[in-house]
């Protein structure tokens, strides 16, 4: 990590945390993670000055980093205790991965775009994150080797839940996924209770489509 550069953004990061609190985020673990993870390190230099705005930003390869409020809502819905094994579908910039790494015991992250995965792995290494494993591949298939997972986060929208996700979800585990059509979805929380799956809608969202064998075709 480069302390001098990161300290330059300390005030902006603290202001973002205060803004998220004002907007209703109450989970102290989520707020602490956002306060500690240097979001600017995951953003291209050309837009780095906007790193702590509550807005999505381009990260290359036609992808974006979600606005911080979306990350905060996602993480708050998971109710992580710090002991969980988490599967993340869509590494993207690696920022959400870094937040998860501070809030869970182990993170397994899948990305289909090699350039994004390589960049995210490099940045996470630079800031000292060591509890994340990466896979380049089709995120709609999950990562069976290390399942079941206490939590699964899907950072892209699907028309329905890919079967691998519920198959790889542990007892009491929570799956967060945007479900719907390409232009509008409902953020959905699915919890495993034995053989039953409880499903709750958490609010409307708009995410990029989840591409792969068990979702949208590219």
Residues identified as active-site: 66
Is beta strand 184-193 parallel, antiparallel or unpaired with respect to 169-181? antiparallel
Report which DSSP code applies to 39.
Answer: G
CB 33 within 8 A of CB 75: yes
CB 6 within 8 A of CB 37: no
Of the candidates 78, 86, 97, the residue with the CA atom closest to the CA atom of residue 176:
78
Of the candidates 165, 161, 177, the residue with the CA atom closest to the CA atom of residue 74:
177
Exposed, middle or buried: residue 191 (CB in 10 Å: 0-12, 13-18, 19+)? middle
């Amino acid at each position: 990590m480069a302390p001098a550069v990161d300290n330059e953004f300390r005030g902006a990061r603290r202001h973002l945390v205060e803004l998220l609190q004002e907007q209703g985020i109450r989970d102290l673990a989520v707020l602490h993670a956002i306060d500690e993870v240097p979001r600017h390190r995951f953003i291209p230099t050309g837009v780095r000055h906007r790193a702590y705005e509550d807005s999505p930003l381009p990260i290359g390869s036609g992808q974006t980093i979600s606005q911080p409020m979306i990350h905060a809502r996602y993480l708050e819905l998971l109710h992580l205790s710090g002991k969980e094994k988490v599967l993340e579908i869509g590494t993207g910039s690696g920022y959400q991965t870094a937040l998860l790494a501070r809030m869970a015991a182990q993170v397994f992250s899948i990305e289909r775009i090699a350039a994004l995965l390589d960049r995210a792995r490099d940045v996470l290494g630079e800031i000292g994150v060591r509890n994340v494993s990466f896979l380049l591949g089709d995120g709609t298939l999950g990562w069976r080797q290390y399942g079941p997972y206490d939590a699964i986060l899907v950072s892209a929208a699907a028309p329905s839940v890919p079967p691998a996700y519920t198959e790889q979800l542990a007892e009491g585990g929570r799956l967060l996924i945007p479900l719907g059509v390409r232009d509008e979805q409902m953020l959905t929380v699915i919890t495993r209770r034995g053989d039953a799956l409880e499903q709750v809608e958490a609010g409307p969202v708009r995410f990029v489509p989840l591409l792969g064998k068990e979702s949208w075709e590219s």
